[in-house]
A = this chain, B = another copy of it.
Amino acid sequence: MTVLTLSELAKITSSKLQGNADLIITGISSLDAAIAGEISFATGRKYLSQLNKCNASAMILSADLAASYHGNNVLINKSPYLAYAQAIAVLHPKQAIQASTHPSSIIADSASIADSASIGANVVIGEQVHIADAVIIEAGSVINNNCSIGKNTHLHANVTLYANSQIGENTCLHSGVVIGADGFGYAPHQQEWYKIKQVGNVIIGNDVEVGANTTIDCAALGSTIIEDGVKLDNLIQIGHNVHIGEHSAIAACAAIAGSVTIGKRCQIGGASAIAGHLSIADDVIITGMSMVISSIKVAGIYSSGMPISENRQWRKNIIRFTQLDKMSQKIRQLEKLIKS
């Protein structure tokens, strides 16, 4: 934990300072947990009552909310959420990791590992792997042959990279991530499945984050591509030959089938599924648990799914759903009857 003055934080977060510029800020916490000395933040009027009960010594607020705040020390910012992100980054700086290679790690002779990298316990690194400066690879991770990992990238414990995976710079793979497993490709043959050998790889760009236990399959031919700045949550499936454009974000448990192309700056809600070979335009937002079975050509917000209702009501309505086509025909009949 770093300690800063309120004026230093104002500078870092590009905020307008109101109150005591020399106030020492000892930490950052949520409205319900903050203690004296700390700064907190609120992002909307629904937090107003909590805001004025909070024990924090300073707040990050919009001008609007600041007007209703009874405290004295405020950083006024158009985007308090971003300012909080900027503040916490300096108040909780990355711990310096010492360059080291744990004696239990097993590294092929032909691998090249930067002196500044940190290789954890029981890490296994294959032939011709290239590990750049300041890379951190935590315990139990396995890097197969011919992989490359760009500088400052962080692999948490128990990550697996299949052979030929290329990972960019400043990227983070969380525990349990599997990069480059075989895509799900079979040709039907005499009522059995003939495996299509998956000979491609995975290429992940810079500033990407991949959540715990997410899987990104290698391409059948060519590369599965995750562009710069993409953020993937936990337990997501990315099929073979998928291409995700830069700065798109996908929430947990989404299933992206093979050969899907997702544009730049898209947001895909959790537990959504996109069928194979579809194409999603730039700047598309898909809400959670949506089912995408045709391509989306125009930016916008798209949704599907049926929110819950009380179980008895749901039972009645789903029966009606299965009769929808008949209902529609019935309406047309009635219409004709009335007109005649």
The chain A residues found within 8 Å of chain B, CB to CB, are 28-30, 33, 79, 81-82, 84-86, 88-89, 92, 102, 104, 106, 120-122, 124, 138-140, 142, 144, 156-158, 160, 162, 172, 174-176, 178, 181-182, 184-189, 191-197, 199, 209, 211-213, 215, 217, 221-222, 229, 231, 233-235, 237, 239, 247, 249, 251-253, 255, 257, 265, 270-271, 273, 275, 286-294, 296, 300-311, 313-325, 327-328, 330-331, 334-335, 337-338
Q: How far is the CA of A186 from the CA of B315 in the complex (A)?
A: 27
Whether B85 lies near A194 (C-beta < 8 A) is: yes
3 smallest CB-CB distances across A and B, nearest first, come from A320-B324, A301-B311, A181-B212
Whether A307 lies near B292 (C-beta < 8 A) is: yes
Which of the residues B88, B124, B215, B270 comes within 8 Å of A196, measured between beta carbons? B88
Whether A308 lies near B334 (C-beta < 8 A) is: no
Pairs across A and B, CB under 8 Å, 14 listed: A85-B187, A139-B142, A156-B162, A158-B158, A191-B247, A215-B252, A235-B237, A255-B270, A286-B308, A291-B308, A306-B318, A307-B318, A327-B328, A330-B331
CB distance from A157 to the nearest CB of B (A): 4
Q: How far is the CA of A307 from the CA of B278 in the complex (A)?
A: 13
A305 neighbours in B (Cβ, 8 Å): 291, 304, 306
| Given A88-B197, A215-B213, A156 and B181 contact (CB-CB distance below 8 Å) | yes
Whether A322 lies near B317 (C-beta < 8 A) is: yes
| Given A176-B160, A187-B79, A273-B271, A308 and B290 contact (CB-CB distance below 8 Å) | yes
CB distance from A258 to the nearest CB of B (A): 9
Which of the residues B81, B144, B222, B304 comes within 8 Å of A30, measured between beta carbons? B222
Which of the residues B162, B193, B217, B331 comes within 8 Å of A247, measured between beta carbons? B193
Q: How far is the CA of A310 from the CA of B313 in the complex (A)?
A: 23
CB distance from A88 to the nearest CB of B (A): 5
A33-B221, A239-B252 given; 15 more Cβ-contact pairs under 8 Å: A86-B194, A140-B160, A142-B175, A174-B182, A178-B212, A178-B234, A184-B251, A193-B231, A251-B257, A273-B289, A300-B310, A304-B308, A319-B325, A320-B324, A321-B324
CB distance from A338 to the nearest CB of B (A): 5
| Given A158-B140, A257-B251, A330-B335, A174 and B184 contact (CB-CB distance below 8 Å) | no
A140 neighbours in B (Cβ, 8 Å): 122, 124, 140, 142, 158, 160
Q: How far is the CA of A16 from the CA of B82 in the complex (A)?
A: 63
CB distance from A26 to the nearest CB of B (A): 14
CB distance from A319 to the nearest CB of B (A): 8
CB distance from A8 to the nearest CB of B (A): 17
A288 neighbours in B (Cβ, 8 Å): 257, 273, 275, 291, 293
Q: How far is the CA of A41 from the CA of B21 in the complex (A)?
A: 69
Task: Closest B residue to A298 by CB, please name it.
Answer: B310
Whether B157 lies near A124 (C-beta < 8 A) is: yes
Whether B88 lies near A199 (C-beta < 8 A) is: yes
